[in-house]
Amino acid sequence: MSEPLSGPMRLALVGATGLIGRSVMEQCVGRGDVRLTAISRREAPLPKGARMEMFVAEPEKWGEVIEAIRPSAMICALGSTWKKSGRDEDAFRAVDHELVLATARAAQEHGVKRFVAISSVGADPHGKSLYLKVKGETERELRKIKFERLDVLRPGLLLGKRQNDTRPAEKLGALASPVLNPFMLGSLHKYRGIKAEVVARAAIAFARRKARGRFVHENEAIMKMAASLPELAEL
């Protein structure tokens, strides 16, 4: 069941400066069914034509912002990289684990009913990779927070232009993705490259869903949900 059409869904976004966060803002431009508010630690340019607010505050104040704007749903696109964290485990965990969970708990405390978290394919609390291990641990703790609905998105390789990011491995993967994707079938489908705008559309669509529960979605479900989001001409 989706958000009723009697009024726009009040949607909050954290992680607006990243690839998915920027895509969420872009996908909300012109949508009369979504009232988007971003919460960020620093200023970020808004997409052309965006009619939204952005609150800039330190993370310890985010709960107060959430209480003031009273969103019914939140998309959490927070995330760092091993390189950006200075290859320091504590710094990496501070964002991808501690800040995500602190934000989720503040959201639940202040009445947010639905929470959509962007994770990663292969997330596993028992994984050998620190990145995937932390993602898995974060997912596990998110499930303990009493949202009416929790959607965890595990996209494959994210495709899109990142700002100030020079990771050669991801660039190479993005270039190879159109060639490799057709051969990644069956259990490998979840590792396919997927456009950031598709993940963003899916996140918005999942935020509209009212069925209660905890759900994990990989590439196929993400693409299906993205396709279900009404186009602007249909609103």
Residues 6 or more apart whose CB falls under 8 angstroms from that of 179 comprise: none
The pLDDT of residue 83: 78
Confidence label for 163 from pLDDT (cuts 50, 70 and 90):
low
The pLDDT of residue 4: 44
Residue 99 or residue 172, greater confidence: 99
Confidence label for 1 from pLDDT (cuts 50, 70 and 90):
very low
Task: State mean pLDDT over 214-232.
Answer: 96
Residue 180 has pLDDT above 70, yes or no: no
In the 8-state DSSP scheme, what is residue 41?
A: S
Secondary structure of residue 48 in the 3-state scheme: coil
The pLDDT of residue 182: 61
- Which has the closest alpha carbon to 125: 167, 153, 97, 83? 97
As a whole number of angstroms, the distance between CA 140 and CA 77 comes to: 17
Confidence label for 168 from pLDDT (cuts 50, 70 and 90):
low
For tokens 């995500």, the residue is 100
The pLDDT of residue 165: 53
Structural domains in the chain plus CATH codes: 9-229 (3.40.50.720)
The pLDDT of residue 178: 58
- Average pLDDT of every residue of the chain: 89
Residue 219 has pLDDT above 80, yes or no: yes
pLDDT tens, position by position, 113-161: 999 999 999 999 999 999 999 999 999 999 999 999 999 999 999 999 8
Confidence label for 166 from pLDDT (cuts 50, 70 and 90):
very low
For the question of residue 131 being annotated catalytic, the response is: yes
As a whole number of angstroms, the distance between CA 175 and CA 179 comes to: 8
The neighbour count for residue 20, using CB atoms within 10 Å, is: 25
Return left, alpha or beta for 15; rule: phi > 0 is left, psi -120 to 50 is alpha, else beta. Answer: left
- What's the burial of 234, exposed, middle or buried (CB within 10 Å: 0-12/13-18/19+)? exposed
Residue 172 has pLDDT above 80, yes or no: no
pLDDT tens, position by position, 47-87: 999 999 999 999 999 999 999 999 999 999 999 876 777 77
As a whole number of angstroms, the distance between CA 192 and CA 174 comes to: 10
The neighbour count for residue 101, using CB atoms within 10 Å, is: 18
Radius of gyration of the chain (CA): 17
| DSSP letter for each residue of 143-168 | TTS--SEEEEE--SSEESPPTT---H
The pLDDT of residue 188: 66
Return left, alpha or beta for 118; rule: phi > 0 is left, psi -120 to 50 is alpha, else beta. Answer: beta
Catalytic residue among 61, 84, 113, 131, which? 131
The neighbour count for residue 211, using CB atoms within 10 Å, is: 10
